[in-house]
Chains A and B, each alone.
Chain A
Amino acid sequence: MSRRLLGVAIMTTLAVGLTGCGSGGSSSSDNTLEIWIRQAPDSDSAKTAKKLADAFTKASGVPTKVVALFDDFETKLNQQAAQKDLPDIVINDTAQLGNMVSQGWLAPVDKAALKGGDQLAETAWKAATGADGKIYAAPFSAQSFALIVRKDWREKVGMEPPATWEDLTKLAVAFTEKDPDGNGQKDTAGFVAPAGTKRGYASWYASSLIYANGGDFITSAGGGKYAASVNDPKTVEAVQYLQDQFCKTKTVNPGAVSNDTTVTHEVFEKGQGGIYLVGPYVLARFVNSIGTDKIEVLPVPKGPSGGPGTLGEGENVYLMAGSQNQDAQKKFAEFAISPEGQKIGMNKDANGAIVRLPVNSTVDMSAERQDPRWKVFQESYAHAVYAPPVPNWAPIRQTSADTINAVWADCTADVKTAMDELNTKLTQELQSQKAS
């Protein structure tokens, strides 16, 4: 018995000692502005972010520390939040806004008091607005989606740029069957797609076609309330179109149903597929790795029942709650949206643009970027559709990705039935978010 007591005594002493050490850790009380960005460490984009922060320091005298993280970004933010020690600034997707508001991570932004705020596009401000109508971020970058296509392949199979969904199918079939890379083997696909469920990719990918056909996931019922509309015929038609690509014409790269974007980028670069519906952030990378004369950017054709439209997305500069440097936070946001900040973020034509399309209307994109292919994305942005400001978009995207992935993976699945079931699930989700 006494031995056991001895053990307990030692453990308690050690535990108390260790806990004491833990809680007495150093707290960062200096005035360095900590900026987190969701980009891979040491990537070109992370270097651009560092350039932006350095220019800000030079202009304002506020020291900065840039932390670039890619994998499990939100998880790490959660850990910081649990310790009540969030970074001062976070540059992250617009779609994460609701998620972060619901966790109480964000400080509201006074649009009128933000210098240069009146120069920003109204659509971009919408993507910085929470479900309660308050603004929670400074818009920083915008993007729409378009088709990055192997131009050399298209010319080899002798086809024109697709103007309708039917043309798009024909092009994909030709890429799959007519050996566009000329190696004598049937080893190419029409589309490459990140159709897995990680971070809701299947839903993210389908969004552009759903919007291009005039469909949607949920629609506003007025007064900050929403209703699920994912079983709307236009939405079903878009998901059905893609199921046909997977199952009937078999024009999607093999294994797409388990792939995320990292893998899909590689599949496209390896020449395993020729049509990639994606944002402009990979354009410079593909131009480098595949060759500038082999790549073209085409707008997403309007769907048979509606459109035009593509998914609109972007990044916001989030001013995080609990910061000791509120004045510096505001100054950084003002610098990030200023023409100078936007131009640094655009990084001209080189790889690593953290501002895909500038949100500041005084910035002339064609003066910064010589590559005319960026213009396709800019023009598509005019009819880009952002995720609506529900309290939390993340579970809606994840749930719809699970269903959409299921109908693409299982060719016997009936799209309409699956979308009806998804509609019920989204209705329940909206109810639990008190948004219906």
Chain B
Amino acid sequence: MTSTLVPAPRRTATPGHPPKSVRWRGPLIAWLFLAPALLLFLYFKFIPMFVGLWKSLFKVQTFLGDEWVGFQNYQTIISDSEFGAAIWHSIVLALGTTIGSIVLGLGLALLIEGPARYLWFVRTAAFLPVVTTMAAVAEVWRIMFHPADSGMLNIVIGWAGVDPQPWLASENSSLWSIMLMSIWRGTPYDMMIFLAGLVGVDRTLYEAAAVDGASTWRRLRHITLPALRPVFWILFTLAAIRGLRVFVEVYVLTNGGPNGSSEVLMTLIYKLGFQKNELGVASAGGIVLFLATLVLTVVVQALRKRQAS
């Protein structure tokens, strides 16, 4: 193929300017379509975020009027020993949930990929956990985690001869139990993204590899996985953000206990804000969490860009 020596004429380079109204119409329509969503975001997301940032510098007393304390709230939260533990628990939970969901999601996607007619049913069924409200899911799992012999999960593991486990009731297993539930819920979401990614893999590559006598494993390793690289980056970014701000599952299942063993950043911030009524310190915690998420996202994006180039 030869490249053309004459550059294609640019649209804006056409002689004479189009009428002003035409020039503005495109972006105007685009912005008007975006406006409702942006408006909602502005009012329910961005303004509260800035208010949160502002309040983190005050001792918040909703009725008496706030008292300026500068960075004291940040000092309080960062020097709090529970804050360090909560960060660690959040990271462990985020990592475990991310890796577990991605591995299982990929496995499931590979198993149910294809055009067969019955697969739509399997996919829909597998996707159900994602569309169920987290609070409802957590409540059901709380019942399944019942730590006595009669608990559902203990009966199931009993069939394999495993002793009953305390699940949420022990500080050694509470975080892992929450992770188990989160993986169960996160896997189908990852599976759907993988399925979408798998559709884009060039089929002729598989055929060529088959002709060359490549095994299934080699095809997976050298064709599928490299083709799915962009999907992995998306999932890593989404999962990292989701993992850091995990709240409902922990709040419903353990509320951070027992003995603070499953306390994550969001439950700690919630406790500070609404149970101890230290709204300023809680706001500072929220800002620290926001910064951590921002840094993480930027790092992941930078890594992705470097690898892409």
Contacts and interface: CB of A to CB of B under 8 A. Distances in A.
B64 A395 contact: no
A263 B27 CA distance: 55
A175 to B, nearest CB: 14
B52 interface: no
Contacts of A413: 259
Given A103-B63, A196-B255, A200-B275, A258 B27 contact: no
Nearest to A188: B148
Contact of B166 (A22, A75, A254, A321): A254
A105 B63 contact: yes
B274 A398 contact: no
Most buried by B among A3, A102, A105, A394: A3
A11 B261 CA distance: 45
Most buried by B among A185, A200, A255, A395: A255
A11 B35 CA distance: 7
Nearest to B256: A197
Interface string A178-215: 00000001110000000011111000000000000000
A7 B31 contact: yes
A305 B192 CA distance: 63
Contacts of A406: 258-260
Given A406-B260, A409-B171, A410-B171, A6 B24 contact: yes
A405 B64 contact: no
B257 A6 contact: no
A86 interface: yes
B138 interface: no
A224 interface: no
A272 B147 CA distance: 12
Given A394-B277, A406-B260, A7 B147 contact: no
Most buried by B among A81, A256, A402: A402
Given A104-B64, A257-B169, A10 B259 contact: no
A321 B148 CA distance: 49
A84 interface: yes
Given A14-B38, A15-B42, A18-B43, A405 B257 contact: yes
A322 B61 CA distance: 15
A74 B28 contact: no
Interface string B258-279: 1111000000000100111111
Contact of B31 (A10, A103, A394, A395): A10
Nearest to A395: B276
A74 B277 contact: yes
Contact of B169 (A18, A198, A258, A395): A258
A256 B166 CA distance: 11
B257 to A, nearest CB: 5
Interface string B222-265: 00000000000000000000000000000001111111110000
B271 A398 contact: yes
A293 interface: no
A197 B27 contact: no
A243 to B, nearest CB: 12
A113 interface: no
Contact of B27 (A6, A78, A198, A405): A6
A82 interface: yes
Contacts of A10: 31-32, 35
Nearest to B276: A395
A99 interface: yes
B168 A258 contact: yes
B146 interface: yes
A187 B31 CA distance: 63
A196 B257 contact: yes
Given A7-B27, A254-B169, A395-B276, A81 B255 contact: no
B40 to A, nearest CB: 9
B277 A322 contact: no
B39 interface: yes
A253 B166 CA distance: 12
Nearest to A11: B38
Contacts of A405: 257-259
B258 A14 contact: no
B62 interface: yes
A409 B63 contact: no
Given A196-B255, A258-B168, A402 B260 contact: yes
Contacts of B279: 78
A322 B65 CA distance: 13
B170 interface: yes
A431 to B, nearest CB: 14
B283 interface: no
B35 A14 contact: yes
A11 B47 CA distance: 13
B62 A82 contact: yes
Nearest to B46: A15
Contacts of A321: 63
B252 to A, nearest CB: 10
B276 A14 contact: no
A392 interface: yes
Interface string B141-161: 010011111110000000000
B147 A255 contact: yes
Contact of A409 (B27, B151, B255, B259): B259
Given A3-B27, A18-B39, A255 B62 contact: no
A186 B148 CA distance: 10
Interface string A395-415: 100100010011011100100
A30 interface: no
Contacts of A104: 61, 63-64
Interface string A371-408: 00000000000000000000010110010001001101
A394 B63 contact: no
14 contacts: A6-B27, A78-B277, A103-B61, A103-B277, A185-B149, A253-B148, A254-B146, A254-B169, A257-B169, A322-B63, A394-B276, A409-B170, A409-B258, A410-B259
Given A99-B277, A103-B64, A254-B169, 8 more contacts: A18-B42, A187-B148, A196-B254, A254-B147, A258-B169, A258-B253, A406-B258, A408-B258
